Structure 1
Amino acid sequence: MDVLVFDIHADFAHFRKIYSTSSPLTYSIIPPTSFYGIVGAIIGLRKEENQYLRLLNQHNLKVAIQVLQPVKKIRIGLNYVNTKGNVWVPKQRREGAHTQIRTEFLRFPKFRCYVRIDDSALFSRLVEYVQNHQNVYTVSLGLSECIANVEFIAFQPFEEKNDREIVSIATAIPERLLRKLEIEPGKEYLKERLPIAMNDERVVLCYDEVLFDASGQSLKAAVDSYWANENGINIVFLN
């Protein structure tokens, strides 16, 4: 199976955790549901009526995410203004329609993305745009203010393996595929519950616990199946 490999990075990123409200928190890596929007922006699929989610979803797009920069988070106060007519801020607050929200961001995030799209026309378009460093809409990591840069790395074949032996996995590993994990000293293991699938009404259909190293190192694990290239890079798709 041919896979497109590219890096994406920015100064800041924010992928809001659904359960965080008054003080938004961010996931540490790109959730698959956010990645559909990133690919849609590159190849020019509209957000109107969620067109991109009808063409890019868990059924026809596979993505594996590798952390390249250590996960760092900061919190920044964002100033929000009510622009929808009636001021929603309680009268006892002097700032009127203005309010400040402490928001968590990833600082200098960088990820390596391994992508496969079943639709050959869409996949060819994505490969062409990434190779030529082009995009139709502005690419961002979560919020529109977090403008990102995409860099082509490779377009190469990967072969599926089902030996269930312990190997070095470069990408984040979904818990549903994990059979055994070899704990190594000096690594910072993180596990987050990510949204994996979403319908075209933007309703999340399923979540999964995902394991990765916060510093970007590979993990030694046995999984149900993984994909390997000729260079010995082993990856696991999140969806």
Structure 2
Amino acid sequence: MKALSFRASGDFARFRCPYTTTSALTYTVMHPIAIKGLIGALMGIDYKDLYEYTKEMKIGIEVLKPIKKDTQSFNLVPQIKNNGSPTFPSRIEFLRDVGYRIYVMDSEEKLKEIKKILINRSYIFTPYLGASEHIAKLNFESIEEVTKVSEDVGLTNCVIPKDQIILEDNQEVQLCLDRIPIKNEKNREYIKYEKVGFAPGGSMVAQLKSVLKVGESNVYFF
């Protein structure tokens, strides 16, 4: 089995929490479902086919930059009468100056197709980071063999379930924690969440029993 890695970066990103509406909050990190949507856009996969296209795809995520959040106010145009008002105020949360290394594990044939699109920058649809106004800059890195990790405990730079992080060994590490969606249905509804942790731009000590090695990196795949 092999895994492809590429970088995704942008000035802004927004991965909206579905339980928020007009005062929209964002997840702290780009989650696996958003990444599958990004890949589908690159490849020009029709939305109705995206679930089947990415069903066997495994995603690893490394956060390359510190987490920075902004909140901005907007006047939105209502789709109903809204008591006669032409607009209504809304506060929306963004991630600012984001950078990710993304690992994709799937069939070798599919990885080669994704590599070709990334290298040629021949995206079928414009790639973006959670919202269409946040255009993504993408750079292909490599396709490497995936192997088992020999040690039970070690360092990882990737997003990993919180219960696999050895907190007592990371007291000097700036950790970020979040609860993100990791699985959805064909109708886009999130059906599974995971409490995760990561060290932006750095590494942390974790249990590696569920981790795979891609090149020199220890990667957890969702």
User: Aligned pair count?
Assistant: 222
Q: 1:182 to 1:236 in 2, by over 3 A?
A: farther
| Separation (CA, whole Å) in 1 of partners of 2:46 and 2:12 | 24
Give the corresponding residue for 1:236: 220
Among residues 132, 157, 160, which one is paired with 2:148 in the alignment?
160
Give the corresponding residue for 2:54: 56
| Separation (CA, whole Å) in 2 of partners of 1:227 and 1:201 | 31
| Separation (CA, whole Å) in 2 of partners of 1:186 and 1:229 | 26
Q: 1:236 to 1:194 in 2, by over 3 A?
A: same
Q: Superposition pairs for residues 181-200 of structure 1, below 5 Å?
A: 181-200=167-186
What RMSD, in angstroms, separates the aligned Cα atoms of the two structures?
1.8
Give the corresponding residue for 1:112: 101
Q: 5+ residue gaps in structure 1?
A: none
Give the corresponding residue for 2:89: 100
Percent identity among equivalent residues? 28
Would the aligned equivalents of 2:149 and 2:218 in 1 still touch at CA under 8 Å?
A: no
| Separation (CA, whole Å) in 2 of partners of 1:235 and 1:189 | 17
User: Are 1:127 and 2:115 matched, yes or no?
Assistant: yes
1:81-130 deviations in Å (ceiling 9; x for gaps)? 23x5xx33124xxxx23122110000011100011123x44332112111
Among residues 57, 71, 77, which one is paired with 2:73 in the alignment?
77
3-state SS of the aligned residue for 1:42?
helix
Would the aligned equivalents of 2:3 and 2:111 in 1 still touch at CA under 8 Å?
A: no
| Separation (CA, whole Å) in 1 of partners of 2:111 and 2:185 | 20
1:106-158 deviations in Å (ceiling 9; x for gaps)? 0011100011123x443321121112233110000000001111011111112
Would the aligned equivalents of 2:24 and 2:92 in 1 still touch at CA under 8 Å?
A: yes
1:180-202 deviations in Å (ceiling 9; x for gaps)? 44533442212111101011111
Per the TM alignment, residue 229 of structure 1 is displaced from its structure 2 partner at its CA by 3.5
Give the corresponding residue for 1:149: 137
Would the aligned equivalents of 2:2 and 2:106 in 1 still touch at CA under 8 Å?
A: no
Would the aligned equivalents of 1:227 and 1:235 in 2 still touch at CA under 8 Å?
A: yes
| Separation (CA, whole Å) in 2 of partners of 1:78 and 1:168 | 42
User: Are 1:227 and 2:212 matched, yes or no?
Assistant: yes
| Separation (CA, whole Å) in 1 of partners of 2:167 and 2:207 | 6
Give the corresponding residue for 2:32: 32
Q: Which amino acid aligns with 2:217?
A: I
Which structure shows the higher helix fraction? 2
3-state SS of the aligned residue for 2:8?
strand
Q: Which amino acid aligns with 1:218?
A: S
| Separation (CA, whole Å) in 2 of partners of 1:75 and 1:100 | 13
| Separation (CA, whole Å) in 2 of partners of 1:5 and 1:159 | 15
Among residues 193, 202, 207, which one is paired with 1:207 in the alignment?
193
Would the aligned equivalents of 1:14 and 1:27 in 2 still touch at CA under 8 Å?
A: yes
Per the TM alignment, residue 66 of structure 1 is displaced from its structure 2 partner at its CA by 0.4
TM-score normalized by structure 2?
0.92
3-state SS of the aligned residue for 1:124?
helix
| Separation (CA, whole Å) in 2 of partners of 1:22 and 1:13 | 17
| Separation (CA, whole Å) in 1 of partners of 2:142 and 2:16 | 30
Would the aligned equivalents of 1:15 and 1:27 in 2 still touch at CA under 8 Å?
A: yes
